[in-house]
Amino acid sequence: MSGQERRRVTWAVVATMAAAGALFAGCPGDLEDPARFLVGSTSGMTCDDGLDVERDLLAARCGASGCHGGANPSADLDLASPDVASRLVGVASTGCGAALLIDPANPTGGVLLEKVTAPECGARMPLLDDPLPPAEIACLQSWVAMVAGGGSMTTRDGGMPPADGGAR
Long-range contact set of residues 163-166: C-beta below 8 Å, sequence gap at least 24 = 163/134, 163/135, 163/137, 163/138
> Would the CA dihedral through 84, 86, 88, 89 be positive or negative?
positive
**In whole angstroms, what is the distance from residue 144 CA to residue 99 CA?**
15
Give strand ranges (E) for 53-166.
Answer: none
How many other β-carbons are positioned within 10 Å of the β-carbon of residue 32? 11
**In whole angstroms, what is the distance from residue 140 CA to residue 20 CA?**
44
Q: Tens of pLDDT along 111-122? A: 999 999 988 888
pTM of the model as a whole: 0.64
19: confidence class by pLDDT, cuts 50, 70, 90: low
Q: Tens of pLDDT along 60-81? A: 888 876 789 888 888 889 999 9
Average pLDDT, stretch 44-56?
Answer: 81
Residue 3 CA to chain centroid, in angstroms? 56
